[in-house]
């Protein structure tokens, strides 16, 4: 649903300008320094990326699902690190609070997340709880005096080394596993008992650190429980991820659009056998396959976003979006490396960086296999 076409057009144009004039010229620097430079962060603050999804009453732009998907497809036509740093707050960094937070939690945190004054992260995954998140072992013990004592370790948490606010999921029912009995807590950096690792070395996405979160007798008041209600944290994270699956699909379509643009330009520039490689029909076929798949992803994402905006149940569709768009992006990256030949494999053109950067999207926020299972489960459910 698009509420104000003119305002959206301006936002998309501002974002395009940021990508063209600020982000792309700094991509090699982001990789070399393994951080997004302050001036790039400032430029994203100016166009409001941090608060795109946060309601206007809390200082954000309050974009609908469809508007957000369109904005994300623009913002991600550059290295992945920019959107992680500049827009995690417009996704998993704030969504648990938007969905289920108390009025006080919303008033306290959303305005700071909307401006980027605070960086939010979502700490669910653990060593023994990945795809099966309900197996998490972090425990929050009710101390009987209006507080909880939290112990456990989270891993692979995006932005953990630099985040200010942690949505931490812990078991409050004393059981070993299961979704019920998991509670969600909002914990600020600086709270005694919460600490983080440095950046975990990884395949790509330089500038977008992931790391561990350590909770060692971390004492938090009961008011830190998201929504004030213990035991419903798993439902909260599922609601958050449900929305995020459309986001991540859009965030995977932007890089594919950029790679295709770069590939098209290269096929005209690069000459072999005395003519541009663009004249080879085998090259053209690869370009055409990329285009078809990008447009399929875009259509599926926007249709799903519109359905969500209309309040329809999109449980199956969001898995289809996440699965299709992330796999599509991987296929596009692979073809584009092929089109660039050796130039696609060596550093310098940014293509090998995209190839590494986008690989993670098929793993996080539900692996491709988990989404296929979810789609099948919903197919059977629809049979009644
Ligand atoms: C770059 C990056 C950033 C991340 N950021 C965050 C974050 O911000 N917050 C957070 O909480 N987590 C984060 N994660 C963790 C991520 O969500 C998990 O890695 C993911 O859920 C998969 O869990 P796992 O790594 O333990 O793999 P596993 O669950 O061990 O899966 C291993 C393999 O088994 C397959 N598999 C598992 N179960 C089944 C099944 N039932 N049927 C078929 N196949 C199955 C999987 O598909 C996969 O191929 C991040 C991960 C990465 C790599």
Residue 124 CA, closest ligand 1 atom number: 11
Dihedral angle computed from the Cα positions of residues 180, 183, 184 and 190, in that order, rounded to the nearest 10 degrees = -150
CA distance 118 to 164: 6
Residue 210 CA, closest ligand 1 atom number: 3
How far does residue 358's CA lie from ligand 1's centre (Å)?
15
Among 66, 74, 95, 365, which one carries the catalytic annotation? Answer: 365
pLDDT at 277: 98
Q: Checking DSSP bridges between strand 139-142 and strand 182-188, what pairing results, if any?
A: unpaired
For residue range 168-190, list pLDDT tens digits in order.
999 998 877 788 899 999 999 99
How far does residue 130's CA lie from ligand 1's centre (Å)?
5
Q: Which of 125, 209, 323 most suits a substitution to test ligand 1, by most atoms within 8 Å of the C-beta?
A: 125
Tokens for 271?
């000459």
Length of the chain: 384
The answer to whether residue 365 is catalytic is: yes
The reply to whether ligand 1 has any atom less than 6 angstroms from the CB of 363 is yes
Residue with tokens 């550059």: 78
The reply to whether ligand 1 has any atom less than 6 angstroms from the CB of 367 is yes
CA distance 79 to 350: 9
Q: For the chain, what percent of residues have pLDDT higher than 70? A: 100
pLDDT at 310: 97
For residue range 73-99, list pLDDT tens digits in order.
999 999 999 999 999 999 999 999 999
CA distance 219 to 319: 36
DSSP 338: H
Tokens for 208?
């977008």
Q: What interhelical angle do 368-383 and 315-340 show, nearest 10? A: 140
How far does residue 126's CA lie from ligand 1's centre (Å)?
10
Averaged pLDDT of the chain: 97
Q: What is the pTM of this model?
A: 0.96
How far does residue 185's CA lie from ligand 1's centre (Å)?
22
Q: Looking at residues 13-25, what average pLDDT do you find?
A: 98
Residue 205 CA, closest ligand 1 atom number: 1
pLDDT at 253: 98
pLDDT at 215: 98
Residue 158 CA, closest ligand 1 atom number: 8
In order of 95, 126, 185, the CA distances from 231 in angstroms are 18, 19, 11
The reply to whether ligand 1 has any atom less than 6 angstroms from the CB of 130 is yes
Confidence of residue 119 (pLDDT cuts 50, 70, 90): very high
How far does residue 232's CA lie from ligand 1's centre (Å)?
22
pLDDT at 178: 82
Q: Which of 124, 156, 376 most suits a substitution to test ligand 1, by most atoms within 8 Å of the C-beta?
A: 156
Output phi, psi for 160, to 5 deg: -50, -45
For residue range 51-78, list pLDDT tens digits in order.
999 999 999 999 999 999 999 999 999 9
CA distance 253 to 267: 21
Q: Which of 131, 133, 362 most suits a substitution to test ligand 1, by most atoms within 8 Å of the C-beta?
A: 131
Q: Looking at residues 331-342, what average pLDDT do you find?
A: 98
Residue of 113, 104, 129 whose CA lies nearest to 54: 113
List the beta bridge partners of residue 185. 168, 225
The 3 state secondary structure assigned to 215-275 is: EEEEEEEHHHEHHHCCCEHHHHHHHHHHHHHHHHHHHHHHHHHHHHHHHHHHHHHCEECCE
The reply to whether ligand 1 has any atom less than 6 angstroms from the CB of 210 is yes
For residue range 207-251, list pLDDT tens digits in order.
999 999 999 999 999 999 999 999 999 999 999 999 999 999 999
Protein residue with least CA distance to atom 35, ligand 1: 369
How far does residue 246's CA lie from ligand 1's centre (Å)?
18
The reply to whether ligand 1 has any atom less than 6 angstroms from the CB of 288 is no
Residue of 52, 49, 42, 50 whose CA lies nearest to 22: 42
Q: Checking DSSP bridges between strand 120-123 and strand 165-171, what pairing results, if any?
A: parallel
pLDDT at 173: 87
pLDDT at 150 over 80: yes
How far does residue 93's CA lie from ligand 1's centre (Å)?
18
Residue with tokens 């003119």: 6
Residue 131 CA, closest ligand 1 atom number: 29
For residue range 284-301, list pLDDT tens digits in order.
999 999 999 999 999 999
The reply to whether ligand 1 has any atom less than 6 angstroms from the CB of 370 is yes
Residue 367 CA, closest ligand 1 atom number: 47
């Amino acid at each position: 649903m698009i509420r104000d076409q003119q305002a959206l057009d301006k936002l998309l144009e501002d974002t395009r300008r940021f990508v063209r004039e600020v982000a792309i010229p700094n991509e090699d620097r982001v990789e070399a320094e393994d951080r997004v430079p302050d001036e790039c962060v400032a430029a994203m603050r100016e166009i409001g990326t941090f608060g795109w999804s946060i309601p206007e009453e809390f200082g954000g732009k309050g974009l609908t699902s469809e508007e957000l998907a369109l904005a994300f497809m623009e913002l991600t036509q550059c290295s992945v690190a920019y959107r992680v740093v500049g827009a995690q707050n417009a996704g998993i960094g704030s969504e648990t609070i938007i969905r289920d937070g108390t009025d006080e939690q919303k008033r306290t945190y959303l305005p700071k997340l909307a401006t980027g004054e605070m960086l939010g992260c979502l700490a669910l995954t653990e060593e023994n709880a990945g795809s099966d998140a309900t197996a998490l072992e972090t425990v929050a013990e009710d101390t009987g005096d209006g507080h909880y004592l939290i112990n456990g370790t989270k891993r692979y948490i995006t932005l953990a080394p630099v985040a200010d606010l942690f949505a931490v999921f812990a078991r409050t029912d004393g059981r070993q596993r299961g979704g019920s009995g998991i509670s969600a807590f909002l914990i600020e950096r600086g709270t005694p008992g919460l600490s983080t690792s440095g950046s975990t070395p990884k395949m790509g996405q330089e500038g977008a650190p992931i790391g561990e979160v350590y909770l060692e007798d971390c004492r938090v008041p009961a008011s830190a429980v998201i929504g004030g209600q213990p035991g419903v944290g798993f439902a909260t994270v599922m609601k958050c991820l449900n929305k995020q699956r459309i986001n991540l699909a859009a965030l995977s379509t932007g890089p594919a659009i950029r790679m295709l643009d770069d590939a098209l330009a290269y096929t005209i520039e690069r000459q072999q056998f005395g003519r541009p490689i663009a004249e080879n029909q085998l090259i053209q076929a690869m370009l055409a396959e990329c285009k078809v798949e990008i447009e399929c992803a875009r259509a599926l994402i926007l249709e799903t976003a519109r359905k969500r905006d209309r309040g329809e149940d999109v449980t199956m569709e969001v898995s289809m979006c996440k699965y299709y768009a992330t796999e599509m992006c991987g296929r596009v990256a692979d073809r584009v490396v092929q089109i660039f030949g050796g130039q696609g494999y060596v550093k310098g053109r940014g293509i090998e960086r995209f190839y590494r950067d986008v690989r993670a999207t098929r793993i996080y926020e539900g692996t491709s296999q988990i989404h296929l299972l979810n789609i099948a489960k919903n197919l059977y459910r629809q049979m009644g």
